[in-house]
Amino acid sequence: MAIRLPGPAKQSLRRSFSTANKASSKYLDVPKGFLAVYVGETEKKRFVVPVSYLNQPSFQDLLSKAEEEFGFDHPMGGLTIPCAEETFLHVTSSLSRF
């Protein structure tokens, strides 16, 4: 089942794919003003989101879940959010409307 995002959501939320060959360029994938997060309960997928989301209460709820589960030791080396991808997409698509 595909999830269609409105135009602004496509611009502000980017899913990035990194391969072993691109491991050294991972940091170049994240433009200024954005951060990479890993989302998923079992299989983690990497997303790049605007840092402005950090101020939004609904995104902060996701961050609280991450803090409860991982503390400050994230297994992926980056910010890991332990929720279903669909939940993450729902929250971020509602944020991109602002």
What is the rounded average pLDDT of the residues 57-80? 83
Answer yes or no: are the C-beta atoms of 81 and 37 closer than 8 Å.
Answer: yes
Q: Which of 6-10, 33-37, 41-45, 54-58 has the lowest mean pLDDT?
A: 6-10
Residue entry with tokens 């971020």:
92
What is the model's pTM? 0.67
What is the rounded average pLDDT of the residues 26-52? 87
* Residue 93 identity (one-letter amino acid): S
- By CB atoms closer than 10 A (0-12, 13-18, 19+), residue 88 is buried
d(CA 24, CA 28): 9
Report pLDDT digits (tens) over 60-69. 999 998 888 8
pLDDT band at 48 (very low <50, low <70, confident <90, very high): very high
Higher-confidence residue: 18 or 48? 48
